[in-house]
Amino acid sequence: MSKITMGKKSAFKIQRRLGVELPGLGKAGALERRPYGPGMHGAKRKKLSDYTIRLMEKQKLRFHYGVREGQLRNLVINCKKNTSRSWVDSLVISLESRIDNVIFRLNWAPSIAAARQMVSHGHIRINGKKVTIGSALVSTDDVITLTDKGAKSGNYLQAKARPRLSAIPAYLSVEKDGEREKAIVLSEALPEDIPFAFEKRLVIEFYWKLK
């Protein structure tokens, strides 16, 4: 499998190559007109190796959530230390609990990258405190709000005008706070909350040697 790069112009190519729409990339419709891989040979059927199939499944996580390979590997190592549940379930829950993902899942940003930008610019507060790190994790009962600038930002206004997702997940709730919205984390995310087709077994097999 050729190297997949992450950039604004490659969002469609990434999704076509992996054969799935990844909402976090903020580009809908990648598979509507060309439901096959990019390039002149994309429409031809190719026999993929077991390694490539597992790699592609892992890449879905990496590109949807916008994390680097090193970050993902470190998360896997940490999640393998948690014996209370399957490590891959812990991995998905951790990724879903990132504040940049939560902002995207609330339809407050058109993509996870845009949500991360809002966080880094100080547009988001958790329990009244400004957060600037996109990988910060939310917990049950956390209250998430927008600053004045956040509520007027182009990312937020774009997301409200054209929501990327049809609904927010059950672990989140949104309500009015005066003229603005505020969100409450109702519970821990579930592995099933991942918003795209995903085969956990293949990721387990890909990282089985990693300790």
pLDDT tens track, the chain, 211 positions: 334 444 545 888 899 899 999 999 997 888 876 555 555 444 455 788 999 999 999 999 999 999 999 999 999 999 999 889 999 999 999 999 999 999 999 999 999 999 999 999 999 999 999 999 999 999 999 999 999 999 999 999 999 999 999 999 999 999 988 788 999 999 999 999 999 999 999 999 999 999 8
Dihedral, 19, 23, 25, 27 alpha carbons, nearest 10: 80
The sheet that has 143-146: what strands, in order across it? 129-131, 124-126, 143-146, 180-185, 172-177
Tell me the fold of 98-188: 3.10.290
Ranges of CATH 3.10.290.10 domains, the chain? 98-188
Ranges of CATH 1.10.1050.10 domains, the chain? 8-88+195-206
Measured distance CA(196)–CA(191) in Å, rounded: 11
Measured distance CA(175)–CA(183) in Å, rounded: 6
Taking the model in full, what pTM does it have? Answer: 0.88
The CATH code of domain 8-88+195-206 reads 1.10.1050.10
